[in-house]
Amino acid sequence: MSEALKRKIRDIPDFPQKGIIFRDITTLLKDRGAFREVTTLLFDRYRDRPIDLVCGIEARGFIFSGALADKLHCGLVPVRKAGKLPAETIREEYVLEYGTAQLEVHKDAISPGKNVLIVDDLLATGGTLAATCRLIERLGGKVFGIAVIIELAFLNGRDKLAEYDVHSLVRYESG
């Protein structure tokens, strides 16, 4: 875990609701050295792996997945909130820390047998990432791994992803 990166993340208490501490990465993003460190650490981990596609989850996952896909010379597949993609999609519903939501991916985004690395900013309860795994697998893709910047370990989201290789750069053991 990178303590230097952790210091670049701002805590916002009581957002989006009372009792939640939001881990704000905008302070990390504006620091070009910290942003480069994130993309370099992820690239170093996956550079020699057989990854065909990087899958980024809306919205903050797009930031890191795009940069990483470029460095890995891979294609990029966006996973978006329902109703945001223009072509034919498949959809998965999932539970958030404080509600439910739906994710979609284009039906033709992933060919059977392709190795896909999922990238997002945060692993909390694991619902978003588990739904993304199901989308990829429904299209015949293989989830090669999951990479996140922040893991809220105290929410046990990793438990929902036990069958996958999950890598996080910064872990919070308590809220």
User: Looking at the 3D structure of the chain, how many domains does it have?
Assistant: 1
- Spans of the chain below 50 pLDDT: none
- Residue 104: give its domain's CATH number: 3.40.50.2020
Question: Residue 1's pLDDT is what?
Answer: 57
Whether 157 maps to a domain, the answer reads yes
- C-alpha 150/C-alpha 140 separation (Å) is 28
The predicted model scores a pTM of 0.95
Structural domain of 165: 49-172
Structure tokens at 107: 């039906």
Whether 44 maps to a domain, the answer reads no
Whether 2 maps to a domain, the answer reads no
Whether 94 maps to a domain, the answer reads yes
* Residues 126 and 161: beta-carbon distance below 8 Å: yes
* Residues 56 and 78: beta-carbon distance below 8 Å: yes
Whether 28 maps to a domain, the answer reads no
Question: Residue 162's pLDDT is what?
Answer: 97
Catalytic annotation, residues: 60, 97
Per-residue model confidence as pLDDT tens digits over 120-140: 999 999 999 999 999 999 999
